[in-house]
Amino acid sequence: MNKGTSVAVVLVFALVCGVVLYNKLSPSGSQGTATSDGRPAEGSAKPAEKPSKDTIQVLYASSDGKKEWVNDVVKTFNDKQVEINGKVVVVKAEHMRSGESRAAILAGKSQPTIWGPAGKSWIDLINQDWQTRMNRPFVPQAKDTVNTALIIALWKPMAEALGWPKKEIGWDDLHRVVTNPKGWSALGHPEWGAFKFGHSHPDYSNSAMLSVISMIYAGADKTAGLTSADMKNPKVVSLLKDIERSIVHYGESSSWLMDKLCARGPSYLSAVTVYESSVVKANDKCKTKPFPFVAIYPKEGTFWETHPAGVVDADWVTEDQKAGAQAFLDFLTSSEQQAKAPKYGFRPALKDVPLTAPFDEDHGISPNAQRKELEYINEDLFQRANTLWHETKKKAAIWVVLDTSGSMNGKPMDAAREGTVKFLKRMEPEDLLQVISFSEAPTPLGNPGKVRESGESLVQKVQGLYAHGQTSLYDAIILAFDQIEQARKTDPEPRSYGIVVLSDGKDTSSKRNRPDLIERLPKPEDTEGTRVFTIAYGNEADEELLRTLSDRSNALMVNGDSADLDKLYHQIASYF
């Protein structure tokens, strides 16, 4: 029960998360994505009102991190009504993660005219794919559009306690704080407690896997030439394992973690790894934060993403579209449009364009940061790095609480069984697992145990569940809390504890009441408390209760029905 950019740092990431997210993509043959009623997908830059002249439609598939800047440029370009061969060029931007976009293209569900992922490694990968399929590269030429560095975002007082800005900070400084039993007390700040770290899930997030590789480079004391032997170096293993054990939890995206950091403050997280654009945005938008964030550029080196873009060489792209796309790319990389990039947290690709506010120290950024770059690694080394992360990561302990009451009968129960089984199979062999079904009363499907020992048995029992009876929602969740409390006493392994609740209705048969349940929730500042992830299944679910459970425990509530269930479970899996 297991998982997965240079060409490498994108491959497993794309395979892991690409396929499950496409059920809402437009049919093959159309350009771009749309909602079921035909409206443009959320976050897309809408083209200008249709001109009276004939048009050349250009679809720019762009990585979602830079969508505000791209949308601004697209609108400005469309307003100019640029003509090619007597036709007006109309550009539409489609924003999604680079791996998702690549998978959609290869599945025939997205047909862009321009492709602009986060880094050159994505271009290299899809060019290899296309060379194999079509005997030519997908993007023959690409130009850098903006730059951003992978950094460690720290609260300013905490960065100062580490010696910033008088000295460079790196992974070894974080490692010393993490491994010191006194935590921040060792640096004169007992009020901060332990060092609490965060990054998104490396199987689902490009920046997270780059963070892991950065730590491996730091442990090996290299900036290039990483080898398989380095993955076994005790110093590498120790640094990665110790820092990963300080993780509060993972997440599907770094932006979600940054939002949590803003909302919960330094008692929740000390630091996260994100792109420097996230620090600019957070310092501007998080008005209630107690301190500003600063971007730490690890002294051991880091990855710099250049967001390249190029015209696609595919059968669906006409000569007019190629010319229109090139006109837009020239506009995108013009001095005027490059000068907008700092406003959105990116460095201009053109070196003669000045780096202006908010790209300054007042926003936590070092405009003249030394560009010490790490070398991207090949596919084999990426696989080894990903495996090493899975071996050293903080393990999970998950209780799945599954509604099998009568209202789940039919298609909902079928989808719940299938989705739950897939979720269980995503878990690590050393993770702790339990499943509790509930109708009139909660029923544990076994004893809590490691996935390698009891996973297959639980999968078989889930496959045999059927819908009947009433809904003992409160009792089932309280039972999960009781079992977790016992597990914490007997299991010495540091774990991320979570309860995943799927329910389609309100409680009708519990012996205990709602206040009994609410009092079991951890305090918001308790980063080691049990998180309750909830799936409000269908229109009759007790959404207010499920949201309270997830919000109070620093977790996530998602809404959906049988068509969405696999995607919802996928979202939750990324937090472990």
- CATH at 479: 3.40.50.410
Q: Are residues 459 and 338 in the same domain?
A: no
Q: Are residues 326 and 273 in the same domain?
A: no
Q: How many domains does the chain fold into?
A: 3
Q: In the chain, how long is the greatest CA-to-CA distance? A: 75
Last residue of a domain, one of 357, 389, 421: 389
Last residue of a domain, one of 389, 415, 445: 389
Q: Are residues 443 and 384 in the same domain?
A: no
The answer to whether position 251 is within a domain reads yes
Q: Are residues 382 and 322 in the same domain?
A: no
CATH assignment at residue 260: 3.40.190.10
* Position 22, amino acid: Y
Element (H, E) at 567: helix 565-573
The answer to whether position 231 is within a domain reads yes
pLDDT at 512: 97
The answer to whether position 511 is within a domain reads yes
Q: Are residues 52 and 138 in the same domain?
A: yes
* Position 530, amino acid: T
3-class DSSP state for residue 305? strand
Q: Are residues 116 and 59 in the same domain?
A: yes
3-class DSSP state for residue 474? helix
The answer to whether position 41 is within a domain reads yes
The answer to whether position 358 is within a domain reads no
Q: Are residues 265 and 384 in the same domain?
A: yes
Q: At what angle do helices 67-79 and 319-332 cross, to 10 degrees?
A: 110
Q: Are residues 413 and 556 in the same domain?
A: yes
Q: Are residues 49 and 129 in the same domain?
A: yes
CA distance 522 to 554: 9
pLDDT at 563: 63
Written as tens digits, the pLDDT of the chain (576 aa) is 444 444 443 443 343 344 333 333 333 333 444 333 333 344 455 555 555 679 999 999 999 889 999 999 999 999 999 999 999 999 999 998 888 899 899 999 999 999 999 988 889 889 999 999 999 999 999 999 999 999 999 999 999 999 999 999 999 999 999 999 999 999 999 999 999 999 988 887 888 889 999 999 999 999 999 999 999 999 999 999 999 999 988 887 788 788 888 888 999 899 999 999 899 889 988 888 899 999 999 999 999 999 999 999 999 999 999 999 999 999 999 999 999 999 998 999 999 999 998 988 888 999 888 889 999 888 789 889 999 999 999 999 999 999 999 999 998 999 999 999 999 998 999 999 999 999 999 999 999 999 999 999 999 999 999 999 999 999 999 999 999 999 999 998 889 999 999 999 899 999 999 999 999 999 877 888 999 999 998 888 999 999 999 999 988 898 877 667 777 887 888 888
Its domain, for residue 414, covers 395-573
pLDDT at 45: 55
Signed CA dihedral, 492, 496, 498, 500: sign only = negative
pTM: 0.81
Helices (H), 42-190: 67-79, 98-106, 120-134, 156-161, 171-179
Q: Are residues 202 and 316 in the same domain?
A: no
Q: At what angle do helices 234-245 and 171-179 cross, to 10 degrees?
A: 70
Cβ neighbours of residue 157 closer than 8 Å, sequence gap 6 or more: 189, 291
Contact between residue 346 and residue 169 where contact means Cβ atoms under 8 Å apart:
no
The answer to whether position 488 is within a domain reads yes
The answer to whether position 355 is within a domain reads no
Measured CA to CA in angstroms, residue 108 lies from 39, 105, 320, 563 at distances of 20, 5, 22, 21
Q: Are residues 312 and 326 in the same domain?
A: yes
Buried b (16+ CB within 10 A) or exposed e, 15-54: ebbbeebbeebbeeeebbbbeeeeebeeebbebbeeeeee
The answer to whether position 442 is within a domain reads yes
Last residue of a domain, one of 334, 364, 389: 389
Q: Are residues 500 and 521 in the same domain?
A: yes
